[in-house]
């Protein structure tokens, strides 16, 4: 292994000079800089970031802590977000640490952060009552939340969409198409994103002078199977819905499978609108109308924000709300078939 001493010897300077050259200190003459740089090149030297991390007491990596293993790896939403995160890190000589929380997310957080593995963390979801977020705040760990913290919760940085408004628009779209019995298929009702989207859904119904029927709101889990099961339940209701707002495309797709299996036609018997705009929406039959939330951009924004938090902790917490837009395809039954999209 080539160390800083090897480089120093070859360039006939001291290790500290090499270190200064690497950080491009202005106090070093151009001449020595050149000599050191060529020594670095000759030896194909790569500074040991572990040693650097030890003295600088920071790591170049950022972590993602995930627990719901299948929800994480099987839902395209996360791959897309990951891609976005990755696209900013690749330019920053920073790496992404994917840490699986066996049971206890807080323990995993402490393990990853206090052990110096990562300098900060991206939290993938926000629960209505979220001890993990509290702990992050308490430990003053640089962190960015994907989704918003519950009102009045810790002053944490976050990136989110306006989910209330987005769900309002999706629901209104169905209402305008004439539907009056509209079901809501959500993820876990412990998640803020579910709460927000359900709120938008309810607001829309109420603004149309309709009653909100609690039985039409079915929480589930963010997998295709979750949508399938939730839909089975909705279709069994005596007040069977004619349209569905699904809080995630993968739920919507599961719901479509259930509906088709039971002999319903989409969108004629049941209209569906999803959320996220994953690649799959274009491939299913019929193509799924959905709310585009800019998944990749969510990841990019979160990563960039976290890097800022780490590099200049003084900036304080930041928030970003990314715009969404309703993408109309076939599954909602709107007449405009030329995939005209309403901007939000």
Interface pick for a second copy out of 54, 262, 315, 340 (rule CB under 8 A): 54
By the rule CB under 7 A, 118 interacts with DNA: no
Interface pick for a second copy out of 11, 21, 40, 112 (rule CB under 8 A): 112
Q: Which does 283 bind (CB under 5 to 8 A by kind): a second copy, DNA, none?
A: a second copy
Query: DSSP string spanning 107-172?
Result: HHHHHHHHTTS-SEEEE---BSS-HHHHHHHHTT--EEEESPPPTT----EEEEE-HHHHHHHHHH
Interface pick for a second copy out of 145, 166, 246, 253 (rule CB under 8 A): 253
Q: Which does 28 bind (CB under 5 to 8 A by kind): a second copy, DNA, none?
A: DNA
**Residues in contact with a second copy, total (CB under 8 A)?**
55
Residues 75-94 that bind a second copy (CB under 8 A): 76, 79-80, 82-83, 86-87, 89-91, 93
Interface pick for DNA out of 37, 43, 52, 233 (rule CB under 7 A): 52
Interface pick for DNA out of 9, 10, 12, 104 (rule CB under 7 A): 12
Helix 4-11 with 30-43: angle, nearest 10 deg: 120
204 upstream amide cis, omega within 30 of 0: no
By the rule CB under 7 A, 55 interacts with DNA: yes
Q: In the bound complex, what is the minimum distance in angstroms from residue 278's beta carbon to a second copy?
A: 10
Q: Which does 335 bind (CB under 5 to 8 A by kind): a second copy, DNA, none?
A: none
Contact 144, 302 (CB under 8 A): yes
By the rule CB under 8 A, 224 interacts with a second copy: yes
Q: In which residue are the tokens 């690649």 written?
A: 279
**Residues in contact with DNA, total (CB under 7 A)?**
29
Residue 299's nearest CA partner among 96, 73, 60 is 96
By the rule CB under 7 A, 32 interacts with DNA: yes
Token pair, residue 268, equals 């004629």
Q: In the bound complex, what is the minimum distance in angstroms from residue 168's beta carbon to DNA?
A: 50
Query: DSSP string spanning 30-89?
Result: HHHHHHHHHHHHHHT----HHHHHHHHT--SEEEEEE--HHHHHH-HHHHHHHHHHHHHH
């Amino acid at each position: 292994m080539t160390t800083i001493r090897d480089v120093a010897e070859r360039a006939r300077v001291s290790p500290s000079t090499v270190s200064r050259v690497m950080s491009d200190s202005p106090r070093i003459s151009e001449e020595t800089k050149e000599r050191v740089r060529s020594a670095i090149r000759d030896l194909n030297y790569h500074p040991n970031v572990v040693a650097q991390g030890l003295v600088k007491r920071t790591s170049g990596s950022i972590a993602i802590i995930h627990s719901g293993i299948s929800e994480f790896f099987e839902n395209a939403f996360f791959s897309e977000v990951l891609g976005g995160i990755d696209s900013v890190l690749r330019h920053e000589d920073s790496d992404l640490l994917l840490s699986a929380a066996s049971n206890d997310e807080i323990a995993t957080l402490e393990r990853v952060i206090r052990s110096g593995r990562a300098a900060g963390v991206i939290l993938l979801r926000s629960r209505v009552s979220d001890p993990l977020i509290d702990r992050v705040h308490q430990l003053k760990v640089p962190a960015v939340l994907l989704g918003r913290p519950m009102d009045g919760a810790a002053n944490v940085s976050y990136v989110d969409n306006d989910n209330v408004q987005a769900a309002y628009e999706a629901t209104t779209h169905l209402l305008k198409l004439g539907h009056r019995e509209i079901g809501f298929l959500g993820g876990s009702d412990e998640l803020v994103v579910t709460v927000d989207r359900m709120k938008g859904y309810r607001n829309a119904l109420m603004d149309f002078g309709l009653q909100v029927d609690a039985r039409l709101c079915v929480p589930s889990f963010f997998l295709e199977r979750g949508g399938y099961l939730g839909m089975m339940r909705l279709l069994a209701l005596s007040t069977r819905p004619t349209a569905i707002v699904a809080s995630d495309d993968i739920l919507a797709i599961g719901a479509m499978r259930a509906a088709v299996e039971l002999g319903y036609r989409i969108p004629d018997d049941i209209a569906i609108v999803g959320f996220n705009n994953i690649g799959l929406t274009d491939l299913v039959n019929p193509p799924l109308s959905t709310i585009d939330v800019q998944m990749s951009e969510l990841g990019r924004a979160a990563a960039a924000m976290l890097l800022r938090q780490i590099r200049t902790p003084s900036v304080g917490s930041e928030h970003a709300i990314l715009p969404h837009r309703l993408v109309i395809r076939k599954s909602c039954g709107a007449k405009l078939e030329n995939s005209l999209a309403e901007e939000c």
